[in-house]
Amino acid sequence: MNTHRWTALLLGTALVTAGCGGGSAGAPAKADLSAPKDKSGTLTMVTKFADPKYAPYFEKVVAAYKAANPKVDIKLEQVGDQPYKDKIRVLTASKDLPDIYFSWAGDFANKFVRAGLAADLTGVIGPDTPWGSTFAPAALKAFQYNGKYYGMPVDLDGKYLAYNKAVFTKAGVRVPKTFEELLSACDTLKSGGVQPIAFGNQYGWAAIHFITQLNAYDVAPKTLETDYAPATGAFTDPGYVTALKQFGDLVSRCGTKDANGLSHETAQAQFLSGKAAMHYLESVEFDVLDKSELDWSFLRLPAPAGAPGDTNALTGAPDGFLVNGQSKNAGLAVDFLKFLSSKENAATMTKDIGWLSPVKDSATSANSYPQLTDALQDIGEAGSFAIWLDTITNAEVAGAYLSGVEGMLSGSRAPEQVMAGVQKAAAKAKKEVG
């Protein structure tokens, strides 16, 4: 009899423990960032670059640093993009945050700053410092919060609509200049039996990248800034609904109905095999296209005519690394990050894995291909970065957007209903932060 009772309790506990873990102390971060005289000790580092395409580069740099500093050990752990989002929270809750950790720009990073878990790097990476002056200023700014700099940007990333030149020529489609032209190009492609845009939205973020860009086009920059900050978000501007409606048009005329059931990678495979004419992807993914047989180029998602927002904004942001504000090895961590962002290592990154680096003059014709150089130029010309909607906003707002847009794709929600959910989440976030 008692066995049953124990079993019942154990069953419950397995779940209960999942919800446990203490909150981290929010002590102000006062990490010692000065370069250690004697470089020794163990550094821990977690990235989201487990993808076999990217992981070897980071392993290589770590090995090189260890070879140059034999008394230093670096425990590098790399996990995938989706698992990273919860892994880092688990590490935070269990007070096991590594010395160096990956972060997206926006509220994702700011959360760590507010909790005192990100070291203030202004003194070493501010634009006026020797190290800081090696970076493109816009990239540093992506990790700025309340006037201070908290992150080292590792890549430059922009979201582009890549297109298959041969398919465009065959269908007699010209490169669209406006959003409306894009839609009619889709109609032409579709009537020719080609899938216009390869689109996989299994985890929700792929759709969110379209919305990020359309929000920037349809809502005034000032309003966006106010709404994206958790303390002031309201999301009542009619531009948000317009953006969702445009996205709805885009999916019905350019996409496919089964997007929620397809992964981004499956969609990419369709583009690579020439079955789809376009694919919306990040410049950090360009390498896959470069290594294929495809004759391709890219454009920004064109802006709707007369859009009231910033039509020169580009979806994207640098990704970066933060240094744990509570770390005892912060000085050593900074030293390693300096090594990682040396011009030589940055150039190797571009060559090995095809990412653009925020380190000035690291991309040359020797280590990159034409599309990558074009992207670098285009990122330079962008008026501002529209940072990923699911990392710039508070997690709860991001969650409401992610599931709301999935619902829109499967036809169960209207744009107005999606925004009602977002507004509710924003109100809750406001209550929590304020």
Partner 1 sequence: MTVLRRWRTWAWVLPAVVLLLVFVYYPIADNLRLSLFSWNAFSPEPRFVGLDNYAEAFGDPVFWRALGNNAAYAVVSLVFQGGLSLVLAALLEELVGRRTRGLLRTLYFIPAAMSITVVGVLFSFLYNPRYGLLNEALNGLGLGHLARAWLGEEGSAIWSVIAMSQWQSVGYTAVLFVVAIQRIPREYYEAAKVDGGGPVRTFFSITLPMVREMTTLVVILTISGAFLVFNEVMVMTAGGPDNSSQVLGTWLYRKAFMEDDMGYAATVATVIFVITFAIAAGQLAVSRRRRYDS
> Under the criterion CB under 8 A, does residue 417 sit at the interface with partner 1?
no
> Under the criterion CB under 8 A, does residue 303 sit at the interface with partner 1?
no
Q: Which two tokens stand for residue 330?
A: 């912060």
Least CB distance to partner 1 at residue 71 (A): 33
Q: Which stretch binds partner 1 (CB under 8 A): 10-18, 64-72, 125-133, 220-228?
A: 10-18
> Under the criterion CB under 8 A, does residue 312 sit at the interface with partner 1?
no
> Under the criterion CB under 8 A, does residue 10 sit at the interface with partner 1?
yes
> In 10 A of CB 304, how many CB atoms?
20
- In angstroms, rounded to a whole number, what is the distance separating the alpha carbons of residues 366 and 344? 13
Indicate the residue among 214 and 262 with the shorter CB distance to partner 1.
262
> Under the criterion CB under 8 A, does residue 115 sit at the interface with partner 1?
yes
Query: Which residues ranging from 50 to 89 are in contact with partner 1 (CB under 8 A)?
Result: 85-86, 89
Q: Which stretch binds partner 1 (CB under 8 A): 33-41, 261-269, 319-327, 366-374?
A: 261-269
Least CB distance to partner 1 at residue 236 (A): 22
> Under the criterion CB under 8 A, does residue 209 sit at the interface with partner 1?
no
Who's near 384: CB < 8 A, 6+ residues apart? Answer: 221, 310, 312, 313, 314
Q: CA dist 426 to 209, 390, 421, Å?
A: 19, 13, 9
Least CB distance to partner 1 at residue 376 (A): 33
Least CB distance to partner 1 at residue 190 (A): 17
> Under the criterion CB under 8 A, does residue 412 sit at the interface with partner 1?
yes
Q: Is the dihedral of CA 363, 366, 369, 371 positive or negative?
A: positive
Indicate the residue among 23 and 306 with the shorter CB distance to partner 1.
23
Q: Which stretch binds partner 1 (CB under 8 A): 122-130, 197-205, 286-294, 316-324?
A: 197-205
> Under the criterion CB under 8 A, does residue 47 sit at the interface with partner 1?
no
- In angstroms, rounded to a whole number, what is the distance separating the alpha carbons of residues 378 and 316? 12
Indicate the residue among 384 and 403 with the shorter CB distance to partner 1.
403
Least CB distance to partner 1 at residue 199 (A): 12
Least CB distance to partner 1 at residue 23 (A): 5
Pairing mode, if any, of strands 144-145 and 148-149?
A: antiparallel
What is the dihedral angle through the alpha carbons of 202, 203, 206, 208, rounded to the nearest 10 degrees? Answer: 130
Q: Identify the H or E element spanning 32.
A: none
> Under the criterion CB under 8 A, does residue 252 sit at the interface with partner 1?
no
- In angstroms, rounded to a whole number, what is the distance separating the alpha carbons of residues 298 and 283? 10
Q: CA dist 245 to 188, 250, 425, Å?
A: 21, 9, 20
**Residue 400 burial by CB count (10 A; 0-12/13-18/19+): exposed, middle or buried?**
buried
Indicate the residue among 37 and 431 with the shorter CB distance to partner 1.
431
> Under the criterion CB under 8 A, does residue 30 sit at the interface with partner 1?
no
Least CB distance to partner 1 at residue 267 (A): 9
> Under the criterion CB under 8 A, does residue 112 sit at the interface with partner 1?
yes
Least CB distance to partner 1 at residue 255 (A): 12
Q: Which stretch binds partner 1 (CB under 8 A): 155-163, 200-208, 238-246, 289-297?
A: 200-208
- In angstroms, rounded to a whole number, what is the distance separating the alpha carbons of residues 391 and 405? 16
Q: Which two tokens stand for residue 8?
A: 């019942």
Least CB distance to partner 1 at residue 269 (A): 9
> Under the criterion CB under 8 A, does residue 92 sit at the interface with partner 1?
yes
At 343, which amino acid appears? K
Indicate the residue among 169 and 273 with the shorter CB distance to partner 1.
273
Q: Which stretch binds partner 1 (CB under 8 A): 98-106, 141-149, 279-287, 398-406?
A: 398-406
Q: CA dist 434 to 14, 148, 229, 232, Å?
A: 34, 21, 11, 9
> Under the criterion CB under 8 A, does residue 300 sit at the interface with partner 1?
no
Buried b (16+ CB within 10 A) or exposed e, 161-200: bbbbeebbeebebeebeebeebbebbebbeeeebbbbbbb
CA atoms within 13 A of residue 64's CA, in its CB half-sphere: 14
Q: Find out whether 311 and 145 touch, Cβ atoms under 8 Å.
A: no
Per-residue contact track with partner 1, 263 to 282, x per CB under 8 A?
---x---x------------
Per CB under 8 A, residues contacting partner 1 are 1, 4-21, 23-26, 85-86, 89-90, 92-93, 111-112, 114-117, 202-204, 257-262, 266, 270, 395-396, 398-399, 403-404, 406-407, 409-410, 412-413, 432
